[in-house]
Amino acid sequence: MAIKSKKTKTKTASTAKANRERKEKKILLEKHKDIARIDQESKRTHGWYVRVRFKGTTHSKFFSDGKCGGRYSSLLAALAWRNEIEATLGKIRTDKHIVTVSHTTTGVVGVRFNEKLHRYEVSWVDSQGKQGKTSVSIVKHGKQIALAKACQIRKEKEAERLVA
């Protein structure tokens, strides 16, 4: 039966502590979608601000370092709250930025009407971040069918990006 020395226990404990500190530092240095660090010395405000936008509404909450027990604990609380809110709202959890604000006359994000060339133009961003574009002719298909085809293409490309 081997007896562990006090020195070995101390070494193991210090190694575990060092590993835990490395993990904490890594999480603190990573970027987290919808979470921003607030450090305002003049107002003595330190913590993480979470802002989740979905279907036109914004849900936000501030996680103070003082109330949560430190910088790392407040970040973990902020991450947990963000994930919980997204699940409650039905928002898909992803670190990719998904743009859903439409400034288009068609009412569909990524589909625009080109009056000059008589076509609907479809644009998207693939899973590697590269932009893609195609168009559907109104002369060839008619206005309603061309719009329907353009919307279908956009929907397929968006689904491909979210799956990848």
Q: What CATH number corresponds to the domain at position 34? A: 3.30.160
DSSP-derived secondary structure letter, 16: H
149 and 116 within one domain: yes
- 36 with 77, same domain: the answer is yes
pLDDT band, residue 101 (cuts 50/70/90): low
pLDDT per residue as tens digits for the range 117-152 = 999 999 999 888 889 999 999 999 999 999 999 999
Q: What is the mean pLDDT of residues 12-26?
A: 73
Q: What's residue 149's pLDDT?
A: 96
Contact between 52 and 85 (Cβ < 8 Å): yes
87 and 125 in a single domain? The answer is: no
Both 116 and 87 in one domain: the answer is no
Identify which has the larger pLDDT, 96 or 147.
Answer: 147
Predicted local confidence at residue 137, as pLDDT: 96
**Residues contacting residue 1 through CB under 8 Å, at least 6 positions apart:** none
Asked if 88 and 49 sit in the same domain, the reply is yes
For the segment 101-116, the average pLDDT, to the nearest whole number, is 83
Regarding whether 117 and 82 lie in a shared domain, the answer is no
| pTM of model > 0.75 | no
Q: CA angle, corner 39, sides to 82 and 18, nearest 5?
A: 75
Q: Are residues 124 and 88 in the same domain?
A: no
What percent of the chain clears pLDDT 90, i.e. is strictly above it? 45
End-to-end alpha carbon distance in the chain: 53
A 10 A CB-CB count for 123 gives: 15
Residue 164: what pLDDT? Answer: 67
Q: How many domains does the chain have?
A: 2
Own/partner pairs for 60-68, CB < 8 Å, 24+ apart?
62/38
Average pLDDT, the chain: 85
- On whether residue 12 sits in a domain, the answer given is no
Q: Which band of pLDDT confidence, cut at 50, 70 and 90, is reported for residue 33?
A: confident
- Say if 64 falls within a structural domain: yes
Task: State whether 39 and 69 are in the same domain.
Answer: yes
Domain limits at 62?
Answer: 29-95
Q: Is the pLDDT of residue 62 over 70?
A: yes
Same domain, 33 and 91: yes
Q: What pLDDT does residue 9 have?
A: 58
Residue 38 and residue 89 share a domain: yes
- Check whether residue 47 and residue 88 sit in a common domain: yes
